[in-house]
């Protein structure tokens, strides 16, 4: 799905300068964001895990499961975001199954990347633990 084309006529666009915290890990969520322009850093536990580029969905997990934010997002450059609240998200899911599949794909891709990082970390720890002293 071409998210940028899908939302090209959006009216709820937020202009956010570089260096601004969009949301923080642990905060309650009421919106998700579509990054329309610019770049933003996504970190978990203070560790950079992604540089979001135009078309990225940010904050969708907390919107889907009504849990606190699992990451912090800070604008790296001047950015433009589309803010999507729960009501709008539900409407998008009903009106566009393609959008719903896209959200699930984004979440699945992030989970796969996280699994790969976890596997590498476990392998590294196992390697250290098996060396003779």
CATH label of the domain that carries residue 45? 2.60.120.10
* Full-model pTM: 0.86
Residue range 39-52: average pLDDT? 96
Candidates 33, 44, 47; CA nearest to 3 is: 33
Q: Tens digits of per-residue pLDDT, 73-112?
A: 999 999 999 999 999 999 999 999 999 999 999 999 999 9
CA atoms of 85 and 14, how far apart (whole Å): 13
Residue 46 CB-half CA count within 13 A: 0
Structural domain range at position 19: 3-129
Counted domains in the chain: 1
């Amino acid at each position: 799905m071409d998210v940028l084309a899908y939302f090209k006529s959006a009216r709820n666009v937020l202009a956010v300068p570089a260096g601004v915290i969009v949301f923080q890990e642990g905060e309650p969520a009421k919106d998700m964001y579509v990054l329309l322009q610019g770049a933003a850093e996504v970190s978990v536990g203070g560790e950079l895990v992604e540089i979001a580029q135009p078309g990225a969905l940010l904050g969708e997990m907390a919107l889907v499961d009504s849990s606190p934010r699992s990451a912090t997002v800070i604008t790296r450059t001047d950015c433009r975001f589309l803010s999507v609240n729960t009501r709008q998200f539900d409407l998008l899911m009903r009106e566009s199954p393609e959008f719903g599949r896209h959200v699930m794909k984004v979440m699945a891709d992030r989970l796969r990347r996280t699994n790969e990082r976890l596997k590498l970390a476990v392998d590294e720890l196992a390697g250290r633990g098996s060396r003779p002293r």
